[in-house]
Chains A and B, each alone.
Chain A
Amino acid sequence: MAGYVQRPQLEEGIEIQTICLVRQRTMEVPTIESGELVTLQELNTSSPFFTHGNSLRVTGKLQEYSVETCMATIMEGNAKLKIDTRHLRDVNFHVDSIYQFIGELHLQAGNEAVLQARVGRNIDGMDLKLYHQSLQLLRQFQAERKGKF
C-alpha cells in the first residue's frame, strides 16, 4: 500500500522538519529512527556517526544557551556539540546542568555539526561513569546478539 510522507507531529502545534515519517495506516506507529547512543568524543569527522541526517542520542554538560537563537552547546571532556533546541518545549536550560538530547545530526558549512533536537531532558544526577561503562556493555551485548540473528 502506498504510504504518505508526513512530517512528525510530536506534540500539538509542533512540527519537526528534520525527519520524515512514512505512515501507512492510522493504527501504525510511524517509523521514527532510534537515536543511536554516542558520546561526544566519538563524534568526530572520521567517525561513522558523523553523517548528515543520522539520528543520535547525545549527553553532555550545558556550557552555554542562547534564548534568542535557541542554540545550546554541550560538552563532554574536551568535545563540544551545538544543539538546536527550537523544537523543544518544557525544557529549562541551566548552565552546568547535564542534558540528554535525541535528534538528527546536521552538517553545516565547514563540517560544523549541529544536532536538531526533537527530544531533550535534564539528567542531573545521572552517574556518568556508570553510563559510559554501561554503554560499552550494551554495545558488546548488541554485537553478540546480532551475530546470532
Chain B
Amino acid sequence: MQSSSSSSPLSKTHVKLLAFDLQSLVQTATSPPMFARDCVPLSWVEVLGTVTFYDNKPDRFLKFAVDDGTGCVPCILWLNHLRSPIFSCNGRREPRDVQLIAHVAANHASKVRIGAVARVRGMITSFRGAMQVTVSDVVIETDPNTEILHWLDCIRLARRVYDRASGAT
C-alpha cells in the first residue's frame, strides 16, 4: 500500500526526530519502505546522539546505536558495496561510482566509536518490527552543546511543522 500523500514534502527530506518519536512511527508501505507520523508520510530521518553500541563487520556492515536520552536508535551502515549486486544496480551503475560509494561508506564507518556524538542521516527502515536507520551519512559532532540544540530543533520542528502537516494543533 502506498500512501496517497507520499508526495508530501516531508517524505522527501530528512526529518529531525527524537528516538522515542522515531520508535512511534507506523509502517504504511514496505517497498519502498514508508512510515507515518500522525498520518504524515516520512522516509528519511536525521537523529543525533551518543554512540552506545558498535559492531563492525568489515566489508559487510557496521551496526551501531545512538542514544539521544529519549531512546536508542539502531543504525546499520552497509559496507558490502563491492560484493553485492544491489549497489551496482545489477551492472547498471558504473564500477567507479560503486567504488566511490563504498569509499564514502568506509569513511563514515571509520568515524563511529563508542562515546562519540554522531549525527546520522538515512532511510527509515525496520527489521523484525523494530525501527532502524539505514545510514547514508554520519557526522561526528564535537561541540558539547550540539545535542541540546538537536533536542530543541526536534521539538520546534515537531510543533511547528510536523504536527501542522498532520493537521494536529
> Do A and B belong to a common assembly?
yes
Is the Cβ of B155 less than 8 Å from the Cβ of A25? Answer: no
Query: How many Å lie between the Cα of A104 and that of B130 in the bound state?
Result: 23
Is the Cβ of A36 less than 8 Å from the Cβ of B53? Answer: no
Is the Cβ of A127 less than 8 Å from the Cβ of B145? Answer: yes
Taking the complex as formed, is B8 at the interface, i.e. its CB lies under 8 A from any CB of chain A? no
Chain B residue at minimal CB-CB distance from A141: B155
Chain B residue at minimal CB-CB distance from A14: B114
Residues in B lying within 8 Å of A, measured CB to CB: 18-21, 24, 38, 50-55, 61, 63-65, 67-72, 74-76, 113-115, 117, 127-128, 130, 132, 143-145, 148, 151-152, 155, 158-159, 168
CB 8 Å contact bits of A116-149 with B (1 = contact, 0 = none):
0011110111110011001001100110011011
Among A28, A98, A118, max chain B CB count under 10 A is at A28
Among B19, B115, B158, max chain A CB count under 10 A is at B115
Chain B residue at minimal CB-CB distance from A120: B115
Is the Cβ of A148 less than 8 Å from the Cβ of B38? Answer: yes
B residues in contact with A130, CB < 8 Å: 145, 148
Among B52, B68, B158, max chain A CB count under 10 A is at B52
Is the Cβ of A25 less than 8 Å from the Cβ of B128? Answer: yes
B residues in contact with A124, CB < 8 Å: 144
